[in-house]
Amino acid sequence: MASAAFEDIVEDFEFLEDWEDRYRYVIDYGKAMEAMDEALKVPSTKVHGCASQVWLHPKIEHGVFAFDGDSDAIIVRGLIAVLRALYSGLPVGDVGKVDAKSELGRLGLTDHLSAQRSNGVRSMIERIHHVAAEASND
């Protein structure tokens, strides 16, 4: 159920031999992500439960889900970019159907993140699913 952009990441990961290369890939993917407008970094967009500062700003247009995001930690910014690839462009009603744990598991991310980072990713996913569920009910 993952987006085409996420499938591209999965393909790229298949060619990367070790975790350090994959880690660099995630960091570079985050660096390439367009910066989030500073005006959107407000308490209502902040994700709690993350060790670093994280902001997610959902955008739902014509029933299609997308979001902007940012973090003060470079690896977390990369993880946000990966989550954007996983969810952005999906119909808002399909966002909650994505098994993020399984999809991220395809990348091996769940095996290589610290407990704090894993909790932060879970918090981001929960926020994404919550926003999409609310939008689906409107």
Encode pLDDT of 78-126 as tens digits.
999 999 999 999 999 999 999 999 999 999 877 888 888 899 999 999 9
Q: At what angle do helices 4-15 and 19-32 cross, to 10 degrees?
A: 140
Q: Which helix (H) or strand (E) holds 56?
A: strand 54-61
Residue 19 neighbours by CB distance under 10 Å? 12
How many domains is the chain partitioned into structurally? 1
Enumerate the β-bridge partners of residue 56.
69
Specify the 3-state DSSP secondary structure of 91: strand
Encode pLDDT of 70-80 as tens digits.
999 999 999 99
Tokens matching residue 6 = 């996420």
CA-CA-CA-CA torsion sign (123, 91, 66, 114): positive
* CATH code at position 113: 3.90.1010.10
Token match 């098994």: residue? 99
pLDDT band at 138 (very low <50, low <70, confident <90, very high): low
Token match 């690839």: residue? 85
Best CA proximity match to 100, nearest among 126, 66, 69, 61: 126
- Taking the whole predicted model, whether its pTM rises above 0.85 is answered as yes
Catalytic amino acids? 50
d(CA 10, CA 116): 24
Domain that holds residue 124: 4-137
